Amino acid sequence: MGTRNYRATVEYDGTAYHGFQIQVSHPTIQGELERALERVTREFVRVNGAGRTDAGVHARGQVINFHSSWSHDCRDLQRAMNANLPEAIAVREMAVASEGFHARFSATSRLYIYRIYCSPVRSPLLDRFTHRLFQPAQVEAMEEAAGKLLGWHDLAAFGQPPFGENTVRLVHRATWRQVAAYSGCFDKTPTELLQFEIEANAFLRGMVRRVVGTLVLVGIGALTVMEFNEILLSQDISRAGPPAPACGLCLERVRYD
């Protein structure tokens, strides 16, 4: 039997990992996935990811693909992989894909979500997946500034291209909303989170965290909406705000035609 192209959806807590992409001297999500596949299939398997999340960034809907000569049902492969993966990583879905499918190159857009809670006192149960602001933020101002990102833009002010020199991207969605979250199973009073959703055809390295860091400056009054737009148009990364911490960022979903 020849090899088949498998597609899988992976969820992970990226706190202890140095990003998705494999590294020689640091633990990564790709490294753990390939290690588990080698144990299960007894062959070296290269995994392709839809998004190369940075160190400490999480994912609910990362998509991967890989080729393997695994001869059993793909549900058995999913169960075997999960039995060999660390607790922080899980394969949520798996199926045989068309031969031409590629997790990164076939994707039409990616949706990232960044979550913030505003409190003078930290919440240990929220801090692993949410960034804390010490002061309130004006959501309306951040929403207005985020709207400047929509459409085709040169986003060099917020990140570096992973390949080549092209920094132009198409942003489909960039919006803030308030959501309720419980910080623990015994918490009867929900915490109000500020949730930023940004969807684009592709992203620059570090782009979402710099965008959020700069929008937060708008929210606390350190920048105006006009000044945010000037930073966007400047294409000068030195003018952007500091990147928001990785803990609040999650790759939520990847879209395909």
Looking at the annotation, which residues are catalytic?
A: 54
Selection from 206, 221, 228 nearest residue 144 by Cα: 228
Q: In one letter, which amino acid is 102? A: H
| Tokens found for residue 83 | 């039995």
Q: In one letter, which amino acid is 195? A: Q
Residue 250 DSSP SS3: strand
Residue entry with tokens 């588990």: 36
Selection from 145, 137, 151, 112 nearest residue 194 by Cα: 137
Torsion of CA 216, 218, 219, 220, to 10 degrees: 90
| Tokens found for residue 221 | 């009054």
| Tokens found for residue 209 | 């965290």
Residues 215 and 103: their CA atoms lie apart, in Å, by 30
Indicate the DSSP class of residue 210.
H
- Exposure of 19 in the CB half-sphere (CA atoms within 13 A): 14
